[in-house]
Amino acid sequence: MSCDFYRQHELGEIAGETFAQHARLCVECQRLLAQDEQLLLLTRSLAQPSASPFLWMKIENALRAEQQRESRMRPRFTSTQKLLAYAVAATLILAIGLGVFFKLSMKPSEDSRLLADAALERVEQKEKEYESAIAELERVTSPQLALLHTDLMLLYRDRLATIDTQIARCRAALGENPGNAHLRRYLLMALQDKKETLQELANHRAG
């Protein structure tokens, strides 16, 4: 059994207040939301792999230098474009951190954390839900992307390309180690980020 209100909520097609009112009376939506909350608690309980503080210093310096270079070469962004640019930068940091983690995760570790079968099944189900929502959002927003102002289109395109790279790297690594909790966390984060980015694009179209 599934509820179309929940699907619309996942795709960002209905207002949050509208869905909240519906969910108060819908047992199925309450069940799905409870599963989402359990999954969120599960992923939050996984410790983030640590990287050298010097790495983040280099990333910050590189982003600052790039921001200064772009400010000299391009017209001033609108507030919407600035927010999206910051999101691209955050995605880039996650992508670089992910690359560092892949290198670290190749080393054998006695305390590596694996997801139990039940938890792994829940995570995989959530991944499928994200993928389904992403496929529908891509169908809706693909024509819209080409109609955006050039700067905004490039920001969205670059952000989505970076997220797709993260997703591909996660899946490649999970092919060898499907129960790795940290890799599953990164994959969920990347899928969620892509879904939310496409929702922003859909809302931009609606606005």
Amino acid at 62: A
The mean of the pLDDT values for the chain is 69
Stated pTM of the model: 0.53
Query: How far apart (Å, rounded) are the C-alpha atoms in residues 16 and 84?
Result: 22
- Residues 98, 72: one domain? yes
pLDDT score recorded for residue 5: 79
- Structural domain including 133 reads 49-206
Same domain, 63 and 76: yes
Shared-domain flag, residues 83 and 123: yes
pLDDT in tens, 37-89: 766 665 555 444 444 444 444 444 544 554 555 455 444 444 455 455 545 55
Q: What is the pLDDT of residues 83-141, one digit of tens each?
A: 555 455 555 555 545 554 454 444 444 334 555 677 777 778 888 888 999 999 999 88
Sign of CA dihedral 82, 83, 88, 89: positive
Domain count, the chain: 2
